Amino acid sequence: MSTDSEIIQRSLGRPSEFGELFFRHAPRLHRYVSRRIGEAVADDILSETFLLAFEKRSRFDHTYSSALPWFFGIATNLIHRQRVAEARTLKLAERTSAAQTVPDSTATSDAAIDAHASARHLAADLRKLSKGDRDVLLLYAWEDLTYEQIGHALGIPTGTVRSRLNRARRILREAPSLKEKENERVRFA
């Protein structure tokens, strides 16, 4: 099987070859984009990601065999153009979880109630992170990229990835919602 780099090089002479990269990586990229900004614009961002990658394929760094971090970088930059939509999605998740009524207790477990509350608090806490910290955290947590891949995707050094991830973790650990949750565990233990 050809590496992404080999496919990109071949596509310079035979553009149709680039389509193989779409079939190879589109599902994973779509999932990431959907989680970041919602299904409503995920298809558009995915399409634009591959269009931009195709147009800029001559600039791809062939020292990397996989183009996935490159695609994640392009998608993340496009997501920033849709930053208002991302903020609305997180705000909506926060409000929706807060506004949901609790059905009859025989039909709902404590775990489901806790999950709704946690989702609301997590959405609010994620909104508080800086754009860079949130990007690093979500690429790491949702897409399981390595520090090096995240650095490549975002065009930042690996050390910066590490520091942003550590800062995001610290901020989330110190978030009032997580401290309250920990206090509840201690109280009921």
Concatenate the DSSP letters of all residues of 28-56 into one string: HHHHHHHHHH-HHHHHHHHHHHHHHHHHT
Residue 66's domain comprises 1-81
CA angle 131, 136, 141 (to 5 degrees): 125
Residue 110 placed within a domain: no
Q: How does residue 159 score in pLDDT terms, banded at 50, 70 and 90?
A: very high
62 vs 110, which has greater pLDDT?
Answer: 62
CATH of residue 162's domain is 1.10.10.10
Q: Using CA atoms, how far apart are residues 71 and 61, in angstroms rounded to an integer?
A: 12
Residues 19 and 75 reside in one and the same domain: yes
Which pLDDT belongs to residue 135?
92
**More confident site: 45 or 110:** 45
End-of-domain residue from the set 81, 96, 115: 81
- Residues 8, 17: Cα–Cα separation, whole Å: 8
Altogether, the residues listed in the chain come to a count of: 189
70 with 142, same domain: the answer is no
As a whole number, the mean pLDDT across the chain is: 83
- Dist CA 79 CA 90 (whole Å): 14
Cβ pair 77, 111 in contact under 8 A: no
pLDDT at 106 over 50: no
22 pLDDT more than 70: yes
Q: Domain check: are 1 and 77 in the same one?
A: yes
- Specify whether the CB–CB gap between 65 and 4 falls below 8 A: yes
| DSSP letter assigned to residue 9 | H
Q: Which of 46, 81, 116 marks a domain boundary?
A: 81
Query: Average pLDDT for residues 114-141, to the nearest whole number?
Result: 79
Please, which pLDDT band fits residue 96 given cuts at 50, 70 and 90?
low
Share of the chain above pLDDT 90, in %: 58
Residue 128 to residues 71, 134, 176: CA-CA distances in angstroms? 26, 9, 12
Are 3 and 77 members of one domain? yes
Tokens of 130: 């800086």
Number of domain units in the chain: 2
pLDDT at 112 over 90: no
74 and 3 part of one domain? yes
Give CA–CA dist 52/74, Å, rounded: 8
The last residue of a domain, from among 81, 113, 144: 81
Q: Is residue 52 part of a domain?
A: yes
Give me the residue label for tokens 């995920």. 42
111 lies in some domain:
no
Q: Which of 31-40, 90-99, 129-138 has the lowest mean pLDDT?
A: 90-99
CATH number for position 30: 1.10.1740.10
Cα separation, 98 vs 104, in Å, equals 17
Domain-located, residue 89: no
Are 76 and 7 found together in one domain? yes
Classify residue 170: in a domain, yes or no: yes
Please report whether residue 145 resides in a domain.
Answer: yes
21 in any annotated domain: yes
Q: Which of 59, 63, 53 is nearest to 24 (CA)?
A: 53
Output the pLDDT for position 117: 55
